[in-house]
Chains A and B, each alone.
Chain A
Amino acid sequence: GESVGLHLPTLSVQEGDNSIINCAYSNSASDYFIWYKQESGKGPQFIIDIRSNMDKRQGQRVTVLLNKTVKHLSLQIAATQPGDSAVYFCAENNAGNMLTFGGGTRLMVKP
């Protein structure tokens, strides 16, 4: 099920390598950021989040880095696996309960 744009940036990595997906956000007042993973035919799934008072947060095999100076967010996936193949979206919270989503990056893992 195709669910993302034709011109989606694509990152292709070898299984076992580390992946880094980048995102530039727009609003310097945003105080909460989330990374979502969307597999084909499914809804976006929460991966990890970070608040603006932090610059790094680690989960299981994933790390999010936040650079507020340049309004940049990155998602690092360690030891990438075929099951990590999906589209990854960053989102920022800058107005109450509302999230603004980035355009997404497609991650392809080669076996």
Chain B
Amino acid sequence: DAGVIQSPRHEVTEMGQEVTLRCKPISGHNSLFWYRQTMMRGLELLIYFNNNVPIDDSGMPEDRFSAKMPNASFSTLKIQPSEPRDSAVYFCASWLAGGLGTQYFGPGTRLLVL
């Protein structure tokens, strides 16, 4: 298995631009999580999906952030418009809920908003 796949790995954009981060979970996993990691706040859960349905989005910072999971093998996290304070590493993780094991993380997308 290729593990959780994220793209792009690095993104540099200007303030006000739209940013779309992509994630492909591990095949067969039915839960997907988006996290943000910063030096100041550590690892924060933004939103998670179970069977493609958003379950908890209380961690989404504000309306500029949105996430979708149109099918079991793909999810996006969109920031529109982006701001410098959104600069962080964004991780996607997947899990087979109800099974053994834990969340498996992707390599992350390093976002820099200028």
Q: Are A and B bound to each other?
A: yes
Q: CB within 8 Å of B: which residues of A?
A: 1-6, 32, 34, 36, 42-46, 49, 89, 96-99, 101, 103-104
B 2-21 binary contact with A (CB < 8 Å = 1; else 0): 00100000000000000000
If over half of A's interface residues share one DSSP class (helix, strand or loop), that class is named, otherwise mixed; here it is loop
- B23 vs chain A, min Cβ distance (A): 11
**Interface contact B91-A44, CB-CB below 8 Å:** yes
Most A C-beta atoms less than 10 A away, residue of B43, B48, B108: B43
Q: CB within 8 Å of A: which residues of B?
A: 4, 31, 33, 37, 39-43, 45, 48, 50, 55-56, 89, 91, 93, 95, 97, 101-108, 110
Summed over the interface, the residue pairs from A and B with CB atoms below 8 Å come to a total of 58
Chain A contacts for B97, CB-based, 8 A: 96-97
**Interface contact A44-B105, CB-CB below 8 Å:** yes
**Interface contact B108-A42, CB-CB below 8 Å:** yes
Chain B contacts for A103, CB-based, 8 A: 42
Chain A contacts for B48, CB-based, 8 A: 97-98
